[in-house]
């Protein structure tokens, strides 16, 4: 990837207006998209020249949509940065996979992971609590778990729980529970479908993956064992020491169905024992 100094120098010299207004995301999109489209750009270049080729019109139009600037701005960007794009390599890009790898490898050492799962609310929601509406966070606890995803394999994640002393309620990523040590305590799920479902204490399954499990079980009449095996052999790229279990598949199936039913009924929150 080109040095930041080279990029800023080119922009401040050849594309002053864009240098002042272009966001980091737009610049990143320009690099990533144009690098992927490089064959369509370079194949138009005469084989006898090594100069930076002009952007073909259809590539320019597509980049304009992606980066959300006019085509004239894309042409200016290409004029300023085109040769840097030609020198870059796909491995230079910071993809989601790269971030997953870095955080998965080093996150656990720092008590973190590829993702941090936490309750969507940062204030106590219990209406009768003396601290109702006040910020949670004084009593945080975290532990390591695994997130099973459809496209990113198995990721080590950090689970953060928040606690309200006023009503003794623990807020977890999916639900809250008051007096958790009481055997009769009930989980009160947060409204909406969570992005990751807690299916065992240390296992979370991405909602997108839950839909795949549901489809396999409903249409192929596949057992939970088989669904877990298919995932572990075909979709999981994570450590073999954390294979998906049949129990987790079944829990995913039922929890997703329960939450979806609750949402379809228009219930704001779902309670379970």
Q: How far is the CB of 83 from Zn ion (least distance, A)?
A: 59
CA dist list (Å): 19 to 10, 13, 28, 80: 9, 9, 13, 11
With beta carbons less than 8 A apart as the criterion, state whether 67 and 29 touch: yes
Question: What are the E-state strand segments in 31-168?
Answer: 116-118, 141-148, 154-164
Query: Which residues have C-beta within 8 Å of that of residue 145, sequence separation ≥ 6?
Result: 113, 117, 156, 157, 158, 159, 201, 202, 203, 204
The window from 20-28, 81-89, 117-125, 189-197 that contacts Zn ion (CB under 5 A) reads 117-125
Q: Which is nearer to Zn ion, 126 or 236 (CB)?
A: 126
Contact 103, 147 (CB under 8 A): no
Closer to Zn ion by Cβ: residue 191 or 260: 191
Place of tokens 């870059």: 88
Query: Measured from the CB of residue 165, what is the shortest distance to Zn ion in angstroms?
Result: 8
The residue (of 125 and 228) whose beta carbon lies closer to Zn ion is: 125
Q: Does 131 bind Zn ion (CB under 5 A)?
A: yes
188 binds Zn ion (CB under 5 A): no
Of the two residues 147 and 162, which places its CB atom closer to Zn ion in the complex? 162
Specify whether the CB–CB gap between 90 and 121 falls below 8 A. no
Q: Determine if 180 is a binding residue for Zn ion (CB under 5 A).
A: no
Binding of Zn ion by 166 (CB under 5 A): yes
Number of residues that bind Zn ion (CB under 5 A): 7
> Which residue of 108, 129, 180, 195 would you call a contact of Zn ion, by CB under 5 A?
129
**Is 170 in contact with 161 (CB distance < 8 Å)?**
yes
Contacting residue, 167, 197, 199, 270, with Zn ion by CB under 5 A: 167
Nearer to Zn ion, 45 or 132 (CB): 132
Which of 37, 74, 103, 124 touches Zn ion by CB under 5 A?
124
Between 6 and 188, CB nearer to Zn ion: 188
Distance (Å, rounded) from C-alpha 223 to C-alpha 249?
A: 9
What is the C-alpha radius of gyration for the chain, rounded to an integer number of angstroms? 25
Q: Which of 95, 76, 79 lies closest to 33, judged by CA? A: 95
Among 34, 76, 104, 126, the residue binding Zn ion under the rule CB under 5 A is 126
Residues that bind Zn ion (CB under 5 A): 124, 126, 129, 131, 164, 166-167
């Amino acid at each position: 990837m080109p040095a930041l100094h080279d990029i800023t120098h080119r922009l401040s010299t050849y594309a002053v207006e864009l240098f002042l207004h272009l966001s980091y995301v737009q610049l990143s999109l320009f690099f990533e998209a144009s690098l992927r489209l490089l064959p369509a750009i370079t194949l138009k270049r005469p084989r006898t020249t090594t100069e930076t080729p002009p952007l073909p019109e259809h590539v320019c139009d597509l980049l304009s949509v992606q980066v959300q600037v006019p085509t004239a701005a894309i042409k200016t960007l290409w004029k300023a940065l085109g040769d840097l794009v030609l020198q870059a390599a796909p491995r230079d890009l910071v993809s989601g996979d790269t971030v997953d790898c870095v955080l998965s490898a080093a996150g656990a050492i720092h008590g973190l992971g590829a993702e941090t799962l936490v309750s969507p609310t940062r204030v106590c929601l219990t209406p009768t609590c003396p601290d109702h509406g006040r910020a949670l966070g004084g009593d945080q606890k975290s532990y390591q778990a695994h997130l099973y995803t459809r496209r990113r394999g198995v990721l080590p994640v950090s689970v953060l729980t928040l606690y309200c002393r006023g009503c003794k309620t623990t807020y977890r990523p999916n639900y809250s529970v008051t007096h958790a040590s009481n055997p009769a305590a009930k989980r009160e799920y947060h409204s909406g479908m969570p992005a990751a479902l807690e299916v065992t204490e240390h296992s979370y399954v991405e909602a997108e993956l839950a839909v795949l499990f549901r489809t396999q079980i409903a249409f192929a009449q596949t057992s939970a064992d088989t669904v877990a095996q298919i995932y572990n052999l075909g979709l999981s790229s994570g450590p073999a020491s954390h294979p998906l279990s049949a129990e987790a598949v079944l829990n995913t199936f039922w929890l997703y169905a329960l939450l979806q039913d609750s949402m379809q009924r228009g219930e704001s929150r779902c309670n379970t024992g």
